[in-house]
Structure 1
Amino acid sequence: MRSDTLDRFLWDLAARVPAPGGGATAGLHLAQAAALLGMVARYSDGDRYARDADTISSVRNRADELRVVGIGLAEDDARAFAAVTAAYALPRGTEEEKAARSSAIGWALVEAGRVPARVVREAGQVVDLAERLRPVGNPNVITDVGAAADAARAAASTARLNVEINLAGITDPLARMELAEALDGVDDVLRRADKVTADVREQIRR
């Protein structure tokens, strides 16, 4: 996926194929959010920003890491969903085959739920970076901090949907608890992202 052109990816996204889909876009939302923060941090250099250089450098470095993580999660999601599709296609002519198929589906759904659960967690980190960078970043590109917060919000919200759809087919209680707990902080991530965007809008109106 990372070597595809944007046009190729969008064609694949629009195609009648199991993946990529919404889960992959959640990972890309995350990667784009992190990339925007990396850009703002790089524009926030020189003497004017010397007092906050450590914060800006820390944000830049972590944003660069999360950009790569986001792309990886987009790819992981596509692979995980392909495994779910393959599990549903397994034969079920005998009782043994039915049991094996059911087990494979359950395992695949858990793995497919874990990928967007991680997107949720990493999106929270991106929002944290946006909160740190917004007050000290270059005001000429401060709207990109708001854009990053909005993209992180989309990542978390979309990923939550993908966790929930997988949860619907999972019966293992420990796996269900694991994935449900991963969603506990989503509303807070969305609220914080909205606050960053609101703060950016207020800042550019001054």
Structure 2
Amino acid sequence: MASDDIDPAETPVAEWVDRLAQAKGAPGGGAACGVMTGIAAGLLGMVAAYTDDDPEARQAEQRLSRTRRLALDAAEEDGVRSAAFGAALAMDQGPDRERAVRDATVVAVASALDVGRVAASLLEEVRLLADIGNPHVEADLRVAVEALRAALEGTNHTARANLDLLARHRTADDHLDPKVAAFERDLVDLAAKRAECTRIAAGWSSE
């Protein structure tokens, strides 16, 4: 871990949020999406734990414990990458800065999408727990879905902003077309997951 970064899994919540509020950008929005994903995984884990005597819930609880750690690892890694991104932007104008910004922006988009993929993996658990979960903690399940939806929406905003920045720093010979196309496909996939979250939440709202 970079010396200027903090691990959300090992840092008191108040301290982490205070750091988020500073003009550092590390952690930033991408890391916040990772933490929101961790919150969603934690709440889903709680619903699974409250669903007694169901072997599927026990298995989900174990998977969600791993996903929660993956989400916080992704949040920490995004903070590290955000620090490198900020350092590139702070360089003096010139060809070296252009190249550094381009490279750091590609990494930043990939980092946001890493968070998004972890978040998207939680939809399977949402479907399962919406079906078998203890109804007494349905409110917590709903909060989990809202946190997940926010994480996916935030991932989209972060990745899109970085892709826009990348477009302004590209050159004709940078060979980034295949990578950008892959990023766009990933964003389409995440949009489908986000839409599913929205449909689930809308279904609850209509009850």
TM-score band w.r.t. shorter chain: 0.7 to 0.9
Question: One-letter code of the match for 1:155?
Answer: A
* Equivalent residue in structure 2 for 1:4, among 5, 8, 11: 11
Question: One-letter code of the match for 1:4?
Answer: T
**Alignment correspondent of 1:134:** 130
Q: Which runs of 4+ in 1 moved over 3 A?
A: 198-202
Q: What is the CA-CA distance between 1:139 and the residue it aligns to?
A: 0.8
* Equivalent residue in structure 2 for 1:118, among 89, 114, 118: 114
Q: What is the CA-CA distance between 1:149 and the residue it aligns to?
A: 1.1
Distance 2:24 2:118 in 1: 27
Distance 2:202 2:161 in 1: 31
> Which consecutive unaligned segments of at least 5 residues does structure 2 have?
1-6, 171-175
Distance 1:22 1:177 in 2: 23
**Alignment correspondent of 2:85:** 84
| Count of matched residue pairs | 192
Q: What is the CA-CA distance between 1:16 and the residue it aligns to?
A: 2.0
Distance 1:147 1:128 in 2: 16
Q: What is the CA-CA distance between 1:33 and the residue it aligns to?
A: 0.4
**Alignment correspondent of 1:35:** 42
RMSD over equivalenced CA pairs, Å:
1.7
Q: What is the CA-CA distance between 1:178 and the residue it aligns to?
A: 2.1
**Alignment correspondent of 1:197:** 201
Distance 1:76 1:88 in 2: 19
**Alignment correspondent of 2:4:** none
> Which consecutive unaligned segments of at least 5 residues does structure 1 have?
93-97
TM-score under structure 2 normalisation?
Answer: 0.86
The 10-residue stretch of structure 1 (113-122 or 154-163) with the greater mean CA deviation from structure 2: 113-122
**Alignment correspondent of 1:56:** 57
Q: What is the CA-CA distance between 1:4 and the residue it aligns to?
A: 1.3
**1:170-181 aligned within 5 A:** 170=166, 171=170, 172-181=176-185
TM-score under structure 1 normalisation?
Answer: 0.86
Higher Cα Rg: structure 1 or 2? Answer: 1
Residues 75 and 115 in structure 2, CA contact (< 8 A), matched pair in contact too:
no
Amino-acid identity (%): 27
Q: What is the CA-CA distance between 1:108 and the residue it aligns to?
A: 0.7
